Structure 1
Amino acid sequence: MNKRKPLDERRAEIVEAGLSVAMREGVESVTVRRVAQEAGISLGTVHYCFDDKDAMLRAMGRAIAMRASEQVLAALDAGPDRTALLEATVDAMLGGLKQHQEMRLLTFEFAVSGARTPVLREVAQAHLKQSIAMTREYLQRLADVAHVRFRTDMGALARMTALRIDGIELAWMVDQDDEAARAGFADLAAAVWGDMEPVDELELAQEL
């Protein structure tokens, strides 16, 4: 007798099926019925796991954003040294882009579909917010590791950084120029670092 899978596990399977359909056939091909077929489960199971198609699409967007951020967050293990952090971050951003290029391309399709189709606009907006939030998380962790703070408002800086990353990645999707992408990421990293200032040692001790 087969045991019923935990809800989180079943949701993850549905998200993977949805991503497979989207990457192969496009975002607009993602329907509850099509995803159920891809996952080999009933329509009822999908509806049990997600309230509607939009909820499923939002979960897909979160999954893409999480994968895109994993390598960059891991680069913080390079420690507080500026040069090491910059090099590790640039390598992680380019490596992650190349490894997950189909996923990243899908994020742009989400954005375009959301701009064109009112039904998908909320999903596209949610994905944009997720991307900016994860960029903000990285910047905050970077500040903590490097013992610095930002002069610019964190929310504004996170939005600017996320949008510049999108531009660099979209250009790479078109020209596949690794060196141009690396240079773009390096310039962005330098600009972010240039917005930092050291945290006073007394202030740092009080925070700790």
Structure 2
Amino acid sequence: MNNKRKPLDERRAEIVEAGLSVAMREGVESVTVRRVAQEAGISLGTVHYCFDDKDAMLRAMGRAIAMRASEPMISALEVGPDHTTLADTAVDALLTGLKQHQHMRLLTFEFAVSGARTPVLREVAQAHLKQSIVMTREYLLRLADVAEAKYRTDIDALARTVAIRIDGIELAWMVDQDDAAARSAFSDLTHDVFDDMEP
């Protein structure tokens, strides 16, 4: 067992990676504290020291997935305030992020389905949904700042709509692997967001 002392954040990250590895190979419902400890080569006590319970570990896994998926979108904001360039770059970033992290995104959907089916996982699935909407809201606010604009629609309602539409587009792509259809749908979404802006 690898129980050498490490900083808490580093150990948590290691546990999250182990949990994601188990989930991608064996499914979300196979993620247990024991299984993750085994995957990480650490003791059960170390996992319990880093996370209060399995749900806390699963929520951390969801955050890790969301952060990775959002990285291309955050980088795309660096192109400057021109709306057309921002829109085009956002579409590229959405498709790039989806293709680079498709296994991680599939886990997000698996969390949602497992949560709908299994009461024990419902709270975790709801936390992941809220997290996705919060991150979308943060991105939209940053986008408005870069675009030097504001939204006509309430930002909370807009964030929920955008997050749900992204999920739908991504799920369709995972089924049909049609890049052109996904790009077109992301383009429609992006233009709808910019159409909601005013100086």
For normalisation by structure 2, the TM-score amounts to 0.98
One-letter code aligned to 1:188: L
Alignment of 1:21-170 (within 5 A): 21-170=22-171
1:82 CA drift (Å)? 1.0
- Residue 205 of structure 1 is matched in structure 2 by none
Structure 2 residue aligned with 1:203: none
Radius of gyration: which is bigger? 1
> In the TM superposition, what is the alpha-carbon distance from 1:36 to its structure 2 partner?
0.3
Distance 1:88 1:193 in 2: 13
Task: Give, in whole Å, the separation in 2 of the partners of 1:45 and 1:3.
Answer: 10
Task: Supply the AA of the counterpart residue of 1:167.
Answer: G
Question: How far apart in 1 are the matches of 2:154 and 2:84?
Answer: 24
- Structure 1 stretches of 4+ with a deviation exceeding 2 A read none
CA distance in 1, matches of 2:14, 2:4: 16
How many percent of aligned residue pairs carry the same amino acid? Answer: 82
1:99 and 1:70 mapped to 2: Cα distance? 11
How many Å separate the matches in 2 of 1:179 and 1:82? 22
Cα distance in 1 for residues equivalent to 2:17 and 2:5: 18
Alignment deviations for residues 96-142 of structure 1 (CA, whole Å, 9 cap, x no partner): 00000000000000000000001000000000011001100110001
Separation in 1 of the partners of 2:84 and 2:153?
A: 22
Amino acid at match of 2:83: R
**1:36-92: CA deviation from partner (whole Å, max 9, x where unpaired):** 000000000000000000000000000001111111011000100111101110000
Partner SS for 2:133: helix
> Which AA in structure 2 matches 1:149?
K
Cα RMSD after superposing both structures: 0.8
Question: What SS does structure 2 have at the residue aligned with 1:174?
Answer: helix
Structure 1 unaligned blocks of 5 or more? 199-208
Kindly state the Cα deviation for residue 95 of structure 1 after the two structures are TM-superposed.
Answer: 0.3
The residue aligned with 1:175 is 176
Tell me the amino acid that sits aligned with residue 184 of structure 2: A
1:3 & 1:171 partners in 2: Cα distance? 44
Distance in 1 (CA, whole Å) between partners of 2:10 and 2:119 is 31
Distance of 2:28 and 2:116 partners within structure 1: 13
Unaligned runs of 5+ in 2: none
Tell me by how many angstroms 1:156 deviates. Answer: 0.2
TM-score (norm 1): 0.94
Structure 2 partner of 1:11: 12
Tell me what 1:201 maps to.
Answer: none
